[in-house]
A and B are shown apart, each in its own frame.
Chain A
Amino acid sequence: MSERKRVTIPIRVEPGTDLPAAERTAVLEAVNQNRALEGSLLPILHAIQDRLGWIPPRTLPLIAYELNLTRAEVHGVVTFYHYFRQHPPGKQVIYLCRAEACQAVGAVSLEAHAKRALGIDFHGTSGDGRYTLEPVYCLGNCASGPSLMIDRELYGRMTPERFDDLIAADAAGATSAAATSAGATRA
């Protein structure tokens, strides 16, 4: 039997070379920091979203390439989980609880109010790019609802009036300190 000579054909260049630098760095660092973990894909996706605020669809080929997965697999995972975003969010994401215990104390009218006040529906981002509104199914604050979370800050016994105050205070910059500390504690 004769040895066949192996020829390597570069059928695929490394994807992601045309990504914006911030996205490419975010992906590569997330991958390198978590690659050794068993079942590393979710930690990697979290790390990317923590850094960029979303998971740009154009990064999927690079993530897949780095993990030796197919693009379809990565796409399947990103789209399965409600938390992973494929669109850039506003400066702050407001997670509004829609679940039963909050419904029992007025979440439905709070939801209507929030949508009206921000001029957006769920998953939308306000015209000024400040807020994205997301539904969430329980924040574990069910004895003190209605509840919402902005970044990592939880608010209880929310009313339409308090919601307006919160937005007004934020517009005045009062919660910017909270927002920075929230970003800093993200593990």
Chain B
Amino acid sequence: MSATVYIPREATALSLGAQSVARALAEEAARRQDAVQIVRTGSRGLFWLEPMLEVATSAARVAYGPVQAADVAGLFEAGFLTGGKHRLNLGPVESIPYLKNQERLTCGRLGVIDPVNLDDYRAHGGYAGLTNALAMEPAAIVKAVTDSGLRGRGGAAFPTGIKWKTVHDAPGAKKYIVCNADEGDSGTFSDRLLMEGDPFCLIEGMTIAGLAVGATSGYVYLRCEYPHAQDTMTQAIATAYAAGYLGADVLGSGRAFELQLRMGAGAYICGEETSLLESLEGRRGQIRFKPPLPALKGLFGCPTVVNNVISFASVPIILERGAQFYKDYGMGRSRGSLPIQLAGNIARGGLVERAFGVTLRELLYDYGGGTRSGRPIRAVQVGGPLGAYWPESKFDTPVDYEAFAGGGGMLGHGGIVVFDDTVDMAAQARYAMEFCAIESCGKCTPCRIGSTRGVEVIDRLVAGDRTAMQQTLLRDLCDTMLNGSLCALGGLTPYPVLSALDYFPEDFSTPAALQAAKR
């Protein structure tokens, strides 16, 4: 009998040694003349257990991790091919509490299937949504997405169905579907995990979008920092074309949908949708004025849907199970589930997909297990580099767009970066300004110049140079950036800066600053 072992081909697992484990496994199996079939998968997103391998037993898939190449011989000795006992045996993978207590609506196939095997995808419910969509009127598809309550997962949380309706209603012979896979926020990796673990799901979601709005052409704009996702997406797109899921006649329906992968070139601002469109058109990624909205005049001046990877990837299940099914998850106006990413100094980092409503505290402690360093959590930054730094007093905030905004924060793309008590919040505030200076597209002055001035002011403040004045100056500068910037890079950089200053003022008073204050 041949045993099947699953090992991720996903980037984080690889960064922790998955390739050597796979190699050692194949060698050891050959040496023992055991028939072992190795299937390369995406990652489940339980990163502290990576490289994690799974063995198919008659009862369930049993997990072992974290495995290093040196453990492989011992695993064979322990009979791991039949789920044998070993210190790395984690039991049935689906019973690991971190995973068991999730609501994986969008990310259900991650780590389960071979990401580039279409049969595997279909065997796990793949393309059921497209099949339903092909039997529906475009307007009915748009309505299903609207009714599901899905809001954009890229950061701005705009209702996806309303955006699609605008493009659907817009006149135009040519329309485009653009997937924003620029995932620039530090602390986020759900787009990457989805593309590396379940690329057909994204392709299916974009194809459904094409049917819904009458677009026959699509692009995935992927950041060049993601070479593994590039490989998986390239393979998956070619496979989908070969099987008739993409091309001039999608599944014999007579409707066309062409899809191309395009690589970014290391510019954070190209995650902003108008800048992304400029980049796709072959220009500098500078922000466009809005209006006109991309939905009306987007790529090459045509009506364009721009959505995040997770937004598109959430569409197939909505079309498969119905809008109401999706809408039944969540709280308030945040419907469905969010793939949350636990990052930074966290003991159990990874992907936690939960319906909206779970609190920050549950995520940080019940799932995350506190810091990796074992020290107390001092601050978290949610929503990427433009998100506020929050202290412990905010940890009971539920994951909900309105609750976060109400607390002066932003849920963004759902990344949570954890810092322990060794963090220097003045350094974090300075970095926020520095990052803005490095990544500014240069179109408007508050951001282009303000960010550099911001670094200087913080330097003087921390050095204790006329601190009261510098504080006033910094707040005034933040006010200008907040209100005077053309886009959210300049407009939101004040959030991490001011939150650091407001919640952690002690970090801005070095001994020198204290002395200066006394004088």
Contacts and interface: CB of A to CB of B under 8 A. Distances in A.
A and B physically associate: yes
Interface of A: 37-43, 45-46, 73, 76-77, 80-84, 95, 99-105, 108, 136-145, 147, 149, 152-157, 185, 187
Interface string B200-226: 000000000000000000000000111
A62 B188 CA distance: 39
Contacts of A108: 427
B187 A142 contact: yes
Given A100-B385, A104-B418, A140-B225, A156 B189 contact: no
A141 B15 contact: yes
Contact of B423 (A83, A104, A139, A140): A104
Contacts of B11: 139-141, 154
Q: Which 9 A-B pairs have the closest CB atoms?
A: A143-B349, A83-B266, A41-B282, A99-B186, A81-B265, A104-B344, A142-B343, A156-B15, A82-B266
6 contacts: A46-B224, A101-B343, A101-B344, A142-B188, A142-B415, A187-B231
Contacts of A147: 15
Given A101-B343, A152-B227, A155-B15, A142 B186 contact: yes
A130 B267 CA distance: 26
Nearest to A147: B15
Most chain A CB atoms below 10 A, which of B189, B285, B346, B420 = B189
Contacts of A143: 12, 47-48, 189, 341-344, 346, 349-350
A37 B11 CA distance: 29
A140 B183 contact: yes
Interface string B423-464: 100011001000100110000000000000000000000000
A76 B265 contact: no
Contact of B16 (A45, A73, A153, A156): A156
Contact of B281 (A39, A140, A155): A39
Contacts of B279: 42
Interface residues of B, number: 65
Contacts of A101: 186-187, 343-344, 415, 417
Given A41-B283, A83-B264, 11 more contacts: A38-B280, A80-B285, A81-B264, A81-B267, A137-B184, A142-B186, A143-B342, A143-B346, A149-B225, A154-B228, A185-B231
A139 B267 contact: no
A69 to B, nearest CB: 9
B234 interface: yes
B14 interface: yes
Nearest to B384: A100
Contacts of A77: 282-284
A164 to B, nearest CB: 18
Nearest to A99: B186
Contacts of A185: 227, 231
Given A84-B265, A140-B226, A104 B420 contact: yes
Nearest to B389: A100
B54 interface: no
Contacts of B427: 108
B50 A144 contact: yes
Nearest to B15: A156
Given A99-B385, A100-B344, A103-B431, A139 B225 contact: yes
Contacts of A95: 225
Given A41-B282, A77-B283, A104 B417 contact: yes
Contacts of B192: 140
B372 A105 contact: yes
A103 B269 CA distance: 21
